[in-house]
């Protein structure tokens, strides 16, 4: 399967193509499936950074369809990693439901970039949802000793069972149910963050949820709370 015009654009932007092979799979919850892969040489070629993501290609009614997924537990020495798929309608979920040992999927690496802040911040504020949870986990694992407050938007009770690699002594988790009448994610963060922030120069704000919420909260942190631009990382994962 070719990658269509999107593949051409990514190639012009120096995207690099790889083929991943499935080595196993397991259900994390009834709505989430973790698939294990060998990397086709990717990790050795690209290196690894927290929150690293790649684009996977799927067939959708005869046309190429790409979705981005975070690399989970990358092991460059072994050339392996995992990915977590939310199980809903769509070609990516359909593929993940039946993925078995030996199956392959095409991938393109382009656009993923992240550097751990240097110097390290005094405190982190992470805002995400179930789609960005693997990235939240990789960031917490990279800097486990920095105190952090995490706002996590969940869709249903199954999302509450997704593994969060926080340390209770260092990481406070605040869960917000999507569509709850009391408060949504953006309103909750706008209410809570000013009281927790302290000195903006010592804070690091990481936001990865739907594009509308991500854009609004990034602007709030920079313009209304005066968090330095370099200390706000924002990436919209999906469009509502």
Which CATH number goes with the domain that contains 27? Answer: 2.40.30.10
Residues 87 and 127 in one domain: no
Give the separation between CA 109 and CA 15, rounded to whole angstroms. 5
Structural domain of 157: 123-234
Whether the Cβ atoms of residue 208 and residue 69 lie closer than 8 Å to each other:
no
Residues contacting 85, CB < 8 A, separation 6+: 32, 33, 34, 35, 69, 92, 93, 96
pLDDT value, residue 115? 87
Average pLDDT, the chain: 90
**CATH number of 226's domain:** 3.40.50.80
Last residue of a domain, one of 76, 109, 142: 109
**Does pLDDT of 11 surpass 80?**
no
Is position 220 within any domain? yes
Q: Which residue has the higher pLDDT, 146 or 61?
A: 146
Give the separation between CA 163 and CA 65, rounded to whole angstroms. 28
**Does pLDDT of 7 surpass 60?**
no
**Does pLDDT of 235 surpass 90?**
no
Residues 10 and 69 in one domain: yes
Whether the Cβ atoms of residue 126 and residue 149 lie closer than 8 Å to each other:
yes
On the 0-12 / 13-18 / 19+ scale of CB atoms within 10 A, 42 is buried
Residues 127 and 221 in one domain: yes
Residues 103 and 164 in one domain: no
Is position 116 within any domain? no
Cα-based angle 54, 58, 62 (whole degrees, multiple of 5)? 150
Lowest mean pLDDT among 10-24, 98-112, 139-153, 202-216: 10-24
Residues 104 and 137 in one domain: no
Last residue of a domain, one of 44, 75, 109: 109
Residues 40 and 128 in one domain: no
Q: State pLDDT tens for residues 116-174.
A: 888 999 999 999 998 899 999 999 999 999 999 999 998 888 888 888 888 888 999 99
Is position 115 within any domain? no
**Does pLDDT of 12 surpass 70?**
no
Residue % of the chain over a pLDDT of 90: 69
**Does pLDDT of 2 surpass 80?**
no
Residues contacting 133, CB < 8 A, separation 6+: 84, 152, 162, 164
pTM of the model: 0.88
Whether the Cβ atoms of residue 15 and residue 113 lie closer than 8 Å to each other:
no
Last residue of a domain, one of 51, 83, 109: 109
Number of domains in the chain: 2
Residues 19 and 90 in one domain: yes
Residues 127 and 229 in one domain: yes
């Amino acid at each position: 399967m070719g990658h269509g015009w999107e593949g051409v654009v990514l190639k012009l932007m120096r995207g690099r193509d790889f083929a991943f092979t499935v080595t196993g799979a397991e259900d994390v919850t009834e709505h989430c499936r973790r698939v294990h892969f060998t990397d086709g040489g990717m990790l050795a070629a690209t290196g690894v950074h927290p929150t690293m993501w790649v684009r996977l290609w799927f067939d959708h009614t005869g046309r190429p369809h790409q979705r981005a997924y975070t690399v989970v537990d990358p092991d460059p020495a072994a050339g392996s990693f995992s990915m977590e798929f939310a199980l809903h309608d769509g070609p990516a979920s359909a593929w993940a439901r039946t993925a078995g040992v030996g199956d392959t999927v095409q991938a393109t690496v382009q656009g993923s970039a992240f550097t751990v802040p240097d110097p390290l911040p005094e405190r982190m504020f992470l805002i995400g949802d179930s789609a960005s949870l693997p990235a939240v986990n990789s960031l917490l694992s990279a800097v486990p000793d920095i105190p952090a407050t995490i706002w996590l938007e969940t869709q249903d009770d199954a999302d509450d069972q997704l593994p969060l690699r926080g340390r209770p002594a260092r990481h406070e988790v605040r869960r917000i149910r999507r569509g709850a009448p009391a408060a949504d994610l953006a309103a909750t963060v706008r209410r809570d963050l000013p009281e927790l922030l302290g000195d903006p120069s010592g804070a690091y704000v990481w936001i990865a949820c739907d594009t509308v919420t991500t854009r609004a909260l990034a602007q709030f942190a920079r313009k209304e709370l005066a968090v330095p631009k370099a200390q706000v990382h924002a990436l919209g994962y999906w469009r509502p």
